Amino acid sequence: MSEQTVTVETARELGLLPEEFELIKKYMGRTPNFTELSIYSVMWSEHASYKNSIKWLKTLPRKGSAILAEAGTENAGLVDIGDGMACAFKIESHNHPCAVEPYQGAATGVGGINRDIFTMGARPVAQLNSLRFGNLKHDRTRWLIKGVVKGIGNYGNAFGIPVLGGEVFFDESYNMNPLVNAMSVGLVKKDGVVSAISKGKGNPVFIVGSSTGKDGIHGATFASADITEDSADDIPSIQVGDPFQEKILLEASLEVIKTGALVGMQDMGAAGIICSTSEMSEKGGHGMRVNLDKVPLRQKNIEAWEILLSESQERMLMVVQKGREKDVEDVLNKWDINYAIIGEVTEGDFLEFFFHGELVAKVPASTLVLGGGAPVYDREYREPAYYKEYKKFDINKVPEPQDLIEVAKQLISHPNIASKRWVYEQYDTMIGTGNMTTNFPSDAGVFNLKGTNKALVMTVDCNSRYVKADPEVGAMIAVSEAARNIACTGAKPLAITNCLNFGNPYNPEVYWQFVHAIKGMGAACEKFDTPVTGGNVSFYNQASIGGKEEAVFPTPTIGMIGLLENKNHHTTLAFKEKGHMIYLIGKSHNDIASSEYLYSYHGIKQSPAPYFNLDEEHRIQTALLELISKNLVQSAHDVSDGGLFIALLESAMPRNLGFDITTDAEIRTDAFLFGEAQGRIVVSVSTSRETHFIDYMVANKIPFTALGHVTKSEIRVDDVSFGFISDMKQVYDTALEAMVTGQPAK
Amino acid sequence: MKFGVVIFPGSNCDQDTVYVLRDILEQEVVTLWHKEIDFDGNIDVIVLPGGFSYGDYLRSGALAKFSPIMNRVIEFANNGGYVFGICNGFQILCETGLLPGALLHNMNQKFICKNVFLTPDSKTTALTTHLPKGRALKIPIAHGEGRYFADRETLAQMRINGQILFRYSDENGIVSESFNPNGAVENIAGICNERKNVFGMMPHPERASDDELGNTDGRLIFESMIKYIKENG
């Protein structure tokens, strides 16, 4: 083993701390060579090791009767959904690549998360995404959103997976750091799950899929540092996606599983070959001997460490039972997919890599991975000064506007409220013929489980403005809103996956946000009985421009799945016909804190999280599910961004209906219409069911108010006309497109 | 009746099509791998499903044209067999020359997926004969290269021969440029060959065939086809 001399300076250049370098030397009993040090640098990067987050992640509720694979044990969470079937699901970020190359960054994000699902033997059936961008007035923001949306679309559409839900949010805090979180949901027979494990001395190791190139080297390390003026120089760190190869890899992998010859498999994601070989080996308690000369390469002059760290996409590592190679090869040949046997399983703990006949690296697998030898840190945190400042907000100091119609119009055309049609029409939302919301729009994505009475329901949610204002309450709201969206379809929440997007963890104020968000999330997950099945932590979402650090809003995105036990109870958000009564479940509050209205219309950016009560929220959702099961409501839609008025409008638009409502004299009209107090759901009730509805609500002491009724097309508030639904809809549908393209939409 | 659904590497609507034909319409269905050149001669209809055959990185359908099975599909069509291409299948049929014209990038240069309305034009083809009269069908599109184009003479010939299956319209059947999602010439969404045994359409009828999804307008197209072929052979 030769190569360049390694010092603490080399370690620092690779993103390792001096104490980490010492620890490596201790584990190895010697100074590592450059290849070995590179291995540790990626495996111990934040992205792969969770070293600054794992302590807190472990405080989240992770157990539940339906949980088949607990967080951290497999590539994605696995939940029992009955009938012998399980749902594998996970959310992951691809923020850093998207900040410098939005198209490929987003495309490979979609590819990566889907591989996490099918590496477990599950067929991906639905995709969701949660996107955050800066101010749309900036050219850079428009370049980013166009690239990201095209990247997600082109990859997912060709791979063949429908997008069933998502969110898009704009705020200045994301100007430099967009967030791109992709979630995939797959289905697998409970007895067909494949583990990411390597064991059995002598078993051959296959690499399957794309050839390995220099793309994505140090991608995991790149994702574990701030974005700077020079980040564009890191473009070679960004991978290039090939959805066709991914589709072939999916079909071939699922067919290989059927042969029964597989011991285990894991895709090559962050940190490439080294990550898959070490994680699989550690899990199986074996070692591995790999000949890097056998790895199919797409370019010459590539070093051993580059092969090990390459994040070339669409690759899978398979450990196969010795003697069954041909069964696997037959399938791979049928699909004309590239593969090579690159090594074999050995006894012991060592990963040994050979290149040009030389042993270039020899490292103990257990020292590389999370839960093994990777460092775990307890970071200090400190309450930022702004937190108390925000709480000083006083609604009485905010003048109530004269013209609320003008406010309504401004909100409807705000990119955070307006229809995201420009985005989602670029995604295939119907492939797989399982999307039940194309013709029956609902608060969450609903996927038909063909041949059963059930449907799988899914959503992604996080209002990061609330989290900034109050990380603990904001994260509770994120979980509650996700559960509320699931409940509005008639389904019961099952479990969550999370994507934790924060700034630099070494900044105590950022870390304070992280710690409190975890606390809030944990409390809400306990309440809704939705264990955390895994996910992804993305730190360093902050830009250092001209020496000034600017972190994004803390954004703990929640991906939740639920189960609709009876498809006949699938409830949509749409008002059904003129004359139906409109009710608000939950209480109205004199509250405009952190609302889009306060933030955008008044320009007041410092206020606490909106009204929220976890127990109340849970009671209301439980009541809604009962109302739905008793067929007492015609539609259900939660009150969220933009407040009650926007919720009513969204319920009215699908069928071009209007509404006529009365506000509450006790509450400011602007707060009544546009405030974002939590725990509220708009339902419509047919006249024939109204008595039963009221009886139920009164008997169960659930707070509710009669708002008014559905009209043919006019919108009236306290007997004042706000105009007609078709005009509002026109603005709502086209505002975002006009802003993104700079042209009026067709 | 017996359907053969071709699977190219990169096809991704093959199982959706099989599900509709086999589970909903209760027809016999076999899948045909693109390397198969010796398939069952008793197939009544070959379906080329949607997807991104061979990745479609060059031009949609341009590589699938050279796939081993395509020579057999061409032979099958030339012998009078029914061939139905949906989306990518339509693109492949145009590439092989079994159907006239070509499919270009959408006018807005973007992939578009949404429900649109189609109005049947020719009343004399297997796909349209038994459709309900005087009503537009709601069928989704999902494509990046769906803008149908043919030169003026070809179009004139197609009109005379009754080869235009569907045009994009509004829900009341009004055909106008405002309801053209991709810039297709004369709002054309689907066509057939002169002999009326080879069909292609960009919208996806298989995505509008299941009661549980709340729209079964697409099923009407398959049903028309099945009834027509049973009656006319």
Cβ separation of B111 and A448 shorter than 8 Å?
no
Active site residue A47: yes
Kindly write down the DSSP assignment for every residue of B37-88, as one continuous string: -S--TT-SEEEE--B-GGGG-SSTTTTGGGSHHHHHHHHHHHTT-EEEEETH
**CB of A267 closer than 8 Å to CB of A115:** yes
C-alpha distances out from residue A540 to A94, A318, B43, Å:
12, 33, 59
pLDDT of A284: 95
- Using an 8 Å CB-CB cutoff, list chain A residues near B204: 430
Q: Which fold has domain A1-62+195-376?
A: Phosphoribosyl-aminoimidazole Synthetase; Chain A, domain 2 (3.90.650)
pLDDT of A548: 78
Mean pLDDT over residues B37-43, rounded?
A: 81
For residue B36, what is the nearest residue in chain A, using CA coordinates? Answer: A334
Chain A residue set in contact with B, beta carbons under 8 Å: 150, 153-154, 157-160, 242-245, 247-248, 334-336, 425-436, 438-440, 448, 450, 567
C-alpha distances out from residue B209 to B27, B114, B200, B214, B223, Å:
14, 15, 18, 9, 10
B65 CB contacts (<8 Å, ≥6 apart)?
B92, B95, B96
**CB of A496 closer than 8 Å to CB of A530:** yes
Distance from CA of A56 to the nearest CA of B (A): 41
**CB of A114 closer than 8 Å to CB of A250:** yes
The ranges of chain A with pLDDT < 70 are 1-4, 218-224, 227, 229-237, 744-746
CATH topology match: A1-62+195-376 vs A397-427+571-746 = yes
Mean pLDDT over residues B113-134, rounded?
A: 96
- For residue A122, the 8-state DSSP code is P
Cβ separation of B110 and A150 shorter than 8 Å?
yes
pLDDT of A66: 87
Q: Which fold has domain A397-427+571-746?
A: Phosphoribosyl-aminoimidazole Synthetase; Chain A, domain 2 (3.90.650)
pLDDT of A301: 86
d(Cα A678, Cα A663) in Å, to the nearest integer?
A: 18
Facing residue for B206 by CB, picked from A158, A247, A433: A433
- Using an 8 Å CB-CB cutoff, list chain B residues near A427: 111, 113
Distance from CA of A88 to the nearest CA of B (A): 21
Residue B23 has pLDDT above 80, yes or no: yes
Residue-range domain boundaries for chain A: 1-62+195-376, 397-427+571-746
Backbone angles phi, psi at A734, to 5 degrees: -110, -10
pLDDT of B139: 98
pLDDT of A47: 84
A528 CB contacts (<8 Å, ≥6 apart)?
A479, A480, A483, A493, A618, A621
> Higher confidence at residue A200 or residue B41?
A200
Whole-prediction pTM: 0.96
Does the ipTM exceed 0.95?
yes
Distance from CA of B192 to the nearest CA of A (A): 24
pLDDT of B192: 98
